[in-house]
């Protein structure tokens, strides 16, 4: 009846359709009868369902009863909506005349509402309001995407087109998980991870892949949308392109943090860039660096920045397990495969299927295990221990070692074919002593993290303490720095951390800084002092003499590590 009265207005340029919440059926005979009384024949009208017109584009929706009021949320991208909340005449009871009277009452109310809609300017006002809202949202620089609780995208502004490379027509009315490869949210929404709390606003950064395959860094803000009754009706996502900004920050050293790693030194900025580039691929990566430089952090960053970020990241320390256990740990076993195998167990490769496996200390793997790893790299296949059934997995492999693999290959301890399979993309992590400028920001970051963990605050590092840290050789790298700060927090008892709160080796470094006079000899037997880090022959000879030949004590007096002293002695030969 409403469609018929609207069509009877003969308003040019307006397309009108109607649909019901129920499945299509013939038009109610009582409606046909009372409309004939008003001079309009609707006997040829075809009833339609909402699902049949859902994909069509409308500017205005009018709902007639409470059952249909929720079909069109009042949101950007949705049509403007009016709710008339009429009583359904089909629910009337009684004889034929009573039912006809109910339909006549509805007919007259609908005719009045349709006339008011046109004659009182509601049509033009609602059309203008919708155009104005869309115009504003289409002219802001942030991308805006909104979808309903079925993930159906109903708004996609111009900035979203520019940033993602997808046209609005390619995204509208489609599941957002099918539009964007790898999911636009990076796995951080309740539809991907039920554990994600979207009751509050979410803010995070991630890399997205545009339609043409380009990777872009975006800052995302996501929140629930609610209607007037505070019902959850969808998700609104605003995002900003940070690609150029982050690249420039890394290049000028302004950015101090990337994917959980800290550093402004040029060597670390180069590592950050390489992580960003290699994360887009599935190529094997071999991370090389001394113990404590953060190899597992790099592996986790490659995973979290890549296309598999919402899949498992499984880390295995190959050097910590004997060969018999390592095979079972990596490939799993079946019940009865060996003593203690009481049930079937999946290995780490199966658990990492679809994601990333990180093989730490790969240089410690035996030749036999190297052959089995080579097959997984080549074919993605293996058998559980005690089984003849071949398992196929899709896993990205990242490995790491603190050994000189070239030397291991030369001595026959590491297979060349496996090395070249693992080392498609090599990443070398610099030791902490080669990026001393990062020590202050690393120390502050570690201190703040530990304080937050133990519920304390207002403890700082003195300038003298930072100077001692800058002067040390750090054979244990960042891990040793963490240990220093934990030790100091025990000693300082809530006060600023001073040099005397540091471990004994650090205190010696600080003490050596008090003198800048080089080596002082004294006929009266005075205790000589040393310039911090002094490594010339005379200083070493004097330190060894004072330490009665004890190289560890001599290194402490000189303010250098034992490794540095040993390298010096190897170079100069015996000292008399």
Reference 236, options 227, 228, 245; nearest CA is 227
Q: Can you list the domains of the chain with their CATH numbers? A: 2-129 (3.40.50.2300), 140-241 (3.30.450.20), 279-430 (3.40.50.300), 433-509 (1.10.8.60), 515-576 (1.10.10)
**Which of the 8 DSSP states describes residue 437?**
G
3-state secondary structure of 347: coil
Q: What is the pLDDT of residues 80-132, one digit of tens each?
A: 778 888 888 888 888 989 999 999 999 999 999 988 888 887 777 776 665 56
Please tell me the distance from the alpha carbon of residue 225 to that of residue 286, in angstroms, as a whole number.
45
Q: What is the pLDDT of residues 171-182, one digit of tens each?
A: 888 888 888 876
Note the pLDDT of residue 85: 81
Note the pLDDT of residue 4: 92
Note the pLDDT of residue 312: 93
| Spans of the chain, pLDDT less than 70 | 24, 51-57, 66-79, 127-139, 182, 186-188, 190-200, 228, 246-257, 505-535, 559, 576
Beta pairing, strands 345-346 & 332-333: antiparallel
Note the pLDDT of residue 532: 42
Note the pLDDT of residue 399: 96
Please tell me the distance from the alpha carbon of residue 28 to that of residue 43, in angstroms, as a whole number.
9
Burial of 517 (0-12, 13-18, 19+ CB in 10 A): exposed
**Which of the 8 DSSP states describes residue 320?**
G
Burial of 315 (0-12, 13-18, 19+ CB in 10 A): middle
């Amino acid at each position: 009846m409403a469609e018929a009265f609207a069509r009877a207005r003969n308003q040019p340029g307006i397309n009108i359709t109607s649909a019901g919440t129920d499945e299509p059926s013939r038009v109610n005979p009582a409606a046909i009868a009372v409309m004939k009384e008003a001079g309009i024949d609707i006997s040829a009208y075809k009833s339609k369902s909402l699902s049949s017109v859902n994909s069509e584009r409308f500017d205005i929706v009018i709902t007639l009863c409470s059952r249909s009021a929720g079909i069109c949320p009042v949101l950007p991208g949705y049509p403007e909506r009016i709710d008339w909340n009429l009583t359904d005449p089909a629910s009337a009871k009684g004889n034929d005349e009573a039912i006809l009277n109910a339909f006549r009452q509805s007919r007259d109310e609908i005719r009045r509402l349709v006339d008011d809609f046109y004659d009182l300017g509601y049509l033009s006002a609602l059309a203008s309001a919708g155009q104005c809202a869309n115009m504003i949202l289409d002219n802001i620089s942030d991308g805006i995407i909104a979808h309903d609780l079925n993930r159906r995208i109903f708004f996609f502004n111009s900035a979203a087109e520019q940033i993602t490379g997808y046209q609005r027509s390619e995204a509208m009315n489609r599941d957002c998980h099918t539009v964007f490869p790898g999911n636009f949210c990076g796995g951080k929404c309740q539809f991907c991870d039920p554990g994600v709390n979207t009751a509050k606003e979410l803010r995070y950064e991630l890399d997205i892949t545009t339609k043409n395959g380009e990777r872009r860094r975006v800052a995302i803000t996501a929140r629930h949308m609610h209607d007037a009754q505070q019902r959850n009706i969808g998700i609104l996502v605003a995002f900003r392109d940070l690609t150029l900004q982050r690249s420039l920050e890394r290049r000028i050293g302004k950015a101090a943090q990337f994917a959980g790693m800290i550093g402004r030194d040029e060597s670390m900025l180069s590592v950050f860039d390489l992580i960003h580039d290699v994360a887009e691929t599935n190529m094997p990566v071999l991370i090389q660096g001394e113990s404590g430089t953060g190899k597992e952090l790099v592996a986790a960053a490659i995973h979290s920045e890549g296309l598999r970020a919402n899949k498992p990241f499984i880390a295995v320390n190959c050097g910590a397990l004997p060969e018999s256990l390592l095979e079972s740990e990596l490939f799993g076993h079946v019940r009865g495969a060996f003593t203690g195998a009481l049930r079937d167990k999946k290995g780490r490769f199966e658990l990492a299927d679809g994601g990333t496996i990180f093989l730490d200390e790969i240089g410690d793997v035996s030749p036999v295990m190297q052959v089995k790893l080579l097959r997984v790299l080549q074919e993605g296949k293996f058998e559980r221990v005690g089984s003849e059934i071949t398992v196929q997995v899709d896993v990205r492999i990242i490995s790491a070692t603190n050994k000189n693999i070239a030397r291991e290959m030369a001595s026959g301890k590491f297979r060349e074919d496996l090395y070249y399979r693992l080392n498609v993309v090599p990443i070398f992590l610099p030791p902490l002593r080669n990026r001393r400028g990062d020590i202050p920001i690393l120390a502050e970051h570690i201190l703040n993290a530990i304080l937050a963990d133990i519920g304390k605050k207002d403890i700082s590092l003195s300038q003298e303490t930072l100077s001692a840290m800058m002067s040390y050789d750090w054979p244990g790298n960042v891990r040793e720095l963490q240990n220093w700060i934990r030790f100091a927090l025990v000693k300082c008892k809530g006060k600023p951390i001073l040099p005397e709160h540091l471990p004994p080796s650090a205190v010696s470094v600080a003490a050596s800084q008090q003198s800048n006079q080089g080596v002082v000899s004294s006929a009266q037997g005075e205790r000589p002092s040393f310039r911090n880090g002094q490594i010339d022959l005379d200083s070493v000879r004097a330190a060894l003499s004072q330490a009665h030949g004890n190289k560890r004590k001599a290194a402490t007096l000189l303010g250098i590590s034992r490794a540095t002293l040993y390298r010096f002695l190897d170079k100069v030969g015996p000292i008399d």
